[in-house]
Amino acid sequence: MVTSKKATITVNGRIIEWEDGMTVKRVLEVMNYTFRMLVIKVDDRIVKKDDYASFPIPTGADVKVIHMVAGG
Amino acid sequence: MDVQGLKSRHTLLKEYAYTRGDIDRGYNNRTLYVNLSENSVAEKPVSEEMKEKFIGGKGFGLRLLWDGTKPNTKWDDPENEIIISPGPVAGITQYSGCGKSLVVSISPLTDLVIDCNVGGYFGPYLKFSGFDALEIQGKAARDVILVIDGTKGTVCIEEAPEEAQDSHILAEQLTEMYADDETDKRNVSVVSAGSAANFTRIGMLNFSWYDAKRKKVRIKQAGRGGIGTVFRDKNIKALVVKIEGIASNLNHVADLPAIQERGRRFAREMKELDHLQAHMKEVGTAHLMEIMNDYDLLPVHNFKYGAHDDTVKIDSHHLKKRFTQGIPDGCWVGCMMSCCKIAEDFKPRTGPYAGQVVDVEGPEYETAAGVGANCGIFDVDVLLELNFYCDTYGIDTISFGTGIAFAMECYENGIIDDEITGGIQLNFGNAEASLELIHQMARGEGFGVTVGQGVRQMKRIFALEYDANAQFLQDIGMENKGLEYSQYVSKESLAQQGGYAMTNKGPQHDEAWLIFMDMVNKQIPTFEDKAEALHYFPMFRTWFGLMGLCKLPWNDVEPEDNAEQDEPAKVPEHVDNYVTVYNSVTGKNIDKRELIRQSERVYNFQRVFNLRRGYGRREHDAQPYRAAGPVTMEEYESRLERYDQQMKEIIGVDPEGKTPEEKLAITREYREGLYEKLLDAVYKRRGWSRDGIPTIEHLQSIGMDLPELIDTVKLYLG
């Protein structure tokens, strides 16, 4: 999934490659997280939905994308 | 429609008069007992202890069923009962989702107690007519209807030979028959099954209401476990209830303003947030189609896979085009979630109603996933037609979908052939085959009747009569306790495997849906974490069934600041709403911990009820392997990278050089071992023995040490 030399971030415990200019929106695309009812924290800081497209993800960030339960 | 002609053919078998009285803080303090073998009717008082221990709804159903049956009562014995109970909160119109009733019986599929949570107006109207539950026992000699007329204070058993059996006609006939005029139709509700409930074990019940805006009779389904089959076995054609009308406080609650205030808060959330969240008003639970597909959770080809490229053809965007928009779709008065979508003016192309203009209630997610993707059928028109016929024939769409998918896989594996199916080529994706089978179920003929017996019976028949490999059938037959799985792939979520197979009634997702918490969010990594979730959520969700509440308003829309709460998965503000609503109805003063305790009492009662019937132990919580992992190489290879990676990184075995058979075996041994450890952890958290039996100490600690329960568990605890 990732080579050891590249910069990475952790998303829900999974290590993925970091991309230059990566935003929350891009993380969701990479992970194919299409569900709408999300709580997103970047290094424990909550990111509002309006900021997904602009909130920068630093290298090494710990991103938590909490999917709320719906349906079911 | 000549309903007077139909009515003139009725024969009155029994008329019972009663005095209605007022509801006191959510309770009538009596239930209604009807025996169809004896044509007798009686009232039963509700004791304070019954309210304290069993609350209402499913709790009342379980208590009455325990008392009315013996440990060896079978589903088709006259003494089996059908109990419908709305719960103390049911009938509230100021908070959303308060119109549910719970239906309880001994299931023809599981030989256990089954319970269904259903909308429509029957439950609240039963309550407004003077009863906290309807308990039906015995068998009528010929088709009867039971009419509870709250306007007159009468209960009548009438032979009704001429009315239709299929629900979309029958509910309309009886609504018109018992309403005084067009305006009065809204005061009538009907419960009915359909012609396929006569011949299958997957029969369900439709609960009606009159949609005054559309001037149509609508129906919601008590789907799981074959209660429609029991209903028809008792020769019940329909139940009818009639009231004078709905008023703002028929429950005579303790604090109406407090309920109104919470109701307004919730209504605001729906107005402001639904279009940003689940889109329930527009598409109902069907919004999950594309989501489940994206997360590899949508069952495809009998749960082999979790996604399919053609899902895009049946996703919520396509379904939305068929659903009428802009008219409120609540299945009870005052519900702002309003998610009960309907596809109007649909023309089926097969069966007895081909070419007629009908309405289709749904499809909801479970139906679209079950009769669609799981059977490899990706055609919206076929989904609508199967949905319509399942409803009007009185068949559970979930068991139908999972059953057809199982039969299709058996066909593709050569276990059954054209001779057995009567020439039906039962390949995945064959919509014509699925349609033919549903009509066979309604006619009581052909291979459709075999499929209609459910997956467990098919496994038995295929092994005994067609010499099939019983272990393979066990591995791919998606049933536990005899009930067909509902429509989520649980392979990658150990917690959801428990959420399905550790249920009391069988694998229905209404106890716990933990896939996102577990598989995606990684919030519950340890066995103890999973066990805690498998304690809290089943107990919390059981509470809806005690109250007469719908689950959907709990978490299909969430407050804007929910993310900032300590435990957002529980939706704390909504939990607080529920505590407030309950306290404001009953005048009691519980908190969120006592809420769980109320459920825990009933949940453990149901577990001991299963024990009393010879089930309810660890062996009965076993799951088919397909719920946990890949059974076949084609499944393994379809997710090769995932499984190989897990083998290397989690199991600690290098897959390099391993044969396909070795890989399957290693994965299986590991996953089956995990499930056993989960059972240990969950039983411990629930206060049960390693064999899954509630301990005496636990029953004492939750205030459920009733003598009959202690006597039962003592037989097993050693």
Set of chain A residues whose Cβ sits within 8 Å of the Cβ of B365: 71
Residue-level pLDDT at B568: 87
- pLDDT tens profile B332-355: 999 999 999 999 999 999 999 999
Q: How many CB pairs under 8 A join A and B?
A: 69
Whether residue B541 lies within 8 A of chain A, CB to CB, comes out as no
% of chain B with per-residue pLDDT over 90? 98
> What would the two tokens of residue B203 be?
């029969």
Residue B718 DSSP code: -
Candidates B47, B279, B7; CA nearest to B162 is B7
Whether residue A32 lies within 8 A of chain B, CB to CB, comes out as yes
Do β-strands A8-11 and A62-67 pair in parallel, antiparallel, or remain unpaired? parallel
Residue-level pLDDT at B205: 98
- pLDDT tens profile B684-711: 999 999 999 999 999 999 999 999 999 9
The rounded distance, in Å, linking the Cα atoms of B620 and B606 is 14
Half-sphere exposure of B480 (CA within 13 A, CB side): 28
Do β-strands B236-242 and B144-149 pair in parallel, antiparallel, or remain unpaired? parallel
Residue-level pLDDT at B421: 98
The rounded distance, in Å, linking the Cα atoms of B561 and B551 is 20
Q: Which residue in A12, A49, A72 is closest to B522 by CB distance? A: A12
Set of chain A residues whose Cβ sits within 8 Å of the Cβ of B288: 70-71
Closest chain B residue to A36, measured at CA: B277
Closest chain B residue to A38, measured at CA: B563
> What would the two tokens of residue B263 be?
């109701």
The rounded distance, in Å, linking the Cα atoms of B623 and B478 is 8
> How many C-beta neighbours within 10 Å does residue B394 have?
32
The rounded distance, in Å, linking the Cα atoms of B208 and B394 is 13
The rounded distance, in Å, linking the Cα atoms of B557 and B268 is 11
Helices B592-612 and B58-68 pack at an angle, to 10 degrees, of: 30
Residue-level pLDDT at B259: 98
Q: Which residue in B515, B522, B558 is closest to A13 by CB distance? A: B522
Do β-strands A38-42 and A45-47 pair in parallel, antiparallel, or remain unpaired? antiparallel
Give me the interface pTM, i.e. the ipTM: 0.91
Do β-strands B101-106 and B188-192 pair in parallel, antiparallel, or remain unpaired? unpaired
> What would the two tokens of residue B655 be?
């897959």
The rounded distance, in Å, linking the Cα atoms of B220 and B188 is 14
Q: Is B42 helix (H, G, I), strand (E, B) or coil?
A: strand
Task: State mean pLDDT over B384-393.
Answer: 98
Are the C-beta atoms of B115 and B103 separated by less than 8 Å? yes
Q: Is B173 helix (H, G, I), strand (E, B) or coil?
A: helix
User: Would you say residue B385 has pLDDT above 80?
Assistant: yes
The H or E element spanning position B176 is helix B167-178
Distance of residue A32 Cα from the nearest chain B Cα, in angstroms = 7
Scanning B560-599 for CB atoms below 8 A from A yields: 562-564, 568-569, 571
The rounded distance, in Å, linking the Cα atoms of B57 and B102 is 5
Q: What is the DSSP string of B580-621?
A: HHHHHHH-----HHHHHHHHHHHHHHHHHHHHHTT--SGGGG
- Whether omega before B299 lies within 30 degrees of 0, making that bond cis, reads no
* B529 contact partners, CB below 8 Å, separation of at least 6: B523
Residue-level pLDDT at A68: 86
Residue-level pLDDT at B630: 98
Between chains, do A70 and B556 touch, taking CB under 8 Å as contact? yes
User: Would you say residue A1 has pLDDT above 80?
Assistant: no
Do β-strands B236-242 and B188-192 pair in parallel, antiparallel, or remain unpaired? antiparallel
Closest chain A residue to B568, measured at CA: A68
User: Would you say residue B279 has pLDDT above 90?
Assistant: yes
Between chains, do B516 and A68 touch, taking CB under 8 Å as contact? yes
Q: What is the DSSP string of B100-118?
A: -EEEEEE-TTTSSEEEEEE
The rounded distance, in Å, linking the Cα atoms of A58 and B439 is 59
Helices (H), B340-493: 365-367, 380-393, 397-412, 418-421, 431-443, 447-451, 455-466, 470-476
**Neighbour-count burial for B450-488, b at 16+ CB within 10 Å, e otherwise:** bbbbbbbbbbebbbeeeebeeebbbbbbbbbbbbbbbbb
Residue-level pLDDT at A58: 97
> What would the two tokens of residue B451 be?
């499929």
Q: Which residue in A13, A37, A72 is closest to B277 by CB distance? A: A37
Q: Which residue in B516, B522, B563 is closest to A46 by CB distance? A: B563
Residue-level pLDDT at B398: 98
> Which domains does chain B possess?
3-242 (3.60.9.10), 256-469 (1.10.569.10), 494-717 (1.10.599.10)
pLDDT averaged over every residue in chain B: 97
Between chains, do B278 and A70 touch, taking CB under 8 Å as contact? yes
> How many C-beta neighbours within 10 Å does residue B261 have?
15
Task: State mean pLDDT over B91-111.
Answer: 98
Whether residue A34 lies within 8 A of chain B, CB to CB, comes out as yes
Whether residue B492 lies within 8 A of chain A, CB to CB, comes out as no
**DSSP E strand stretches across B18-91:** 30-35, 40-45, 82-85
User: Would you say residue A72 has pLDDT above 90?
Assistant: no
- pLDDT tens profile A31-58: 999 998 898 999 999 998 899 999 999 9
- pLDDT tens profile B173-196: 999 999 999 999 999 999 999 999
The rounded distance, in Å, linking the Cα atoms of B300 and B297 is 9
Residue-level pLDDT at B566: 86
Between chains, do A71 and B290 touch, taking CB under 8 Å as contact? no
Between chains, do A68 and B291 touch, taking CB under 8 Å as contact? no
Residue-level pLDDT at A4: 54
Residue-level pLDDT at B128: 98
Candidates B155, B153, B150, B111; CA nearest to B129 is B150
Set of chain A residues whose Cβ sits within 8 Å of the Cβ of B515: 72
Set of chain A residues whose Cβ sits within 8 Å of the Cβ of B293: none
Q: Which residue in A13, A32, A69 is closest to B517 by CB distance? A: A69
Whether residue B656 lies within 8 A of chain A, CB to CB, comes out as no
The rounded distance, in Å, linking the Cα atoms of B395 and B144 is 20
> Which domains does chain A possess?
8-67 (3.10.20.30)
> What would the two tokens of residue B638 be?
């379809």
Candidates B482, B696, B509; CA nearest to B608 is B696
- Residue B14 β-bridge partners: B157
Residue-level pLDDT at B1: 78
User: Would you say residue B400 has pLDDT above 80?
Assistant: yes
B56: exposed, middle or buried (Cβ count in 10 Å: 0-12, 13-18, 19+): buried
* B67 contact partners, CB below 8 Å, separation of at least 6: none
> How many C-beta neighbours within 10 Å does residue B695 have?
15
**Neighbour-count burial for B88-117, b at 16+ CB within 10 Å, e otherwise:** bbbbbbbbbbbbbbbbbbbbbbbbbbbbbb
Set of chain A residues whose Cβ sits within 8 Å of the Cβ of B536: none
Between chains, do B556 and A68 touch, taking CB under 8 Å as contact? no
Between chains, do B558 and A34 touch, taking CB under 8 Å as contact? no
Between chains, do A39 and B277 touch, taking CB under 8 Å as contact? no
User: Would you say residue B532 has pLDDT above 80?
Assistant: yes
Do β-strands B342-346 and B154-159 pair in parallel, antiparallel, or remain unpaired? unpaired
Between chains, do B563 and A39 touch, taking CB under 8 Å as contact? yes
Residue-level pLDDT at B68: 98
User: Would you say residue A2 has pLDDT above 80?
Assistant: no
Are the C-beta atoms of B62 and B609 separated by less than 8 Å? yes
Whether residue B520 lies within 8 A of chain A, CB to CB, comes out as yes
Q: In what order do the strands lie in the sheet with A8-11?
A: A14-17, A8-11, A62-67, A38-42, A45-47
Are the C-beta atoms of B506 and B112 separated by less than 8 Å? yes
Between chains, do B568 and A66 touch, taking CB under 8 Å as contact? yes
Distance of residue A28 Cα from the nearest chain B Cα, in angstroms = 12
With cut-offs at 50, 70 and 90, classify the pLDDT of residue A71.
low
User: Would you say residue A70 has pLDDT above 80?
Assistant: no
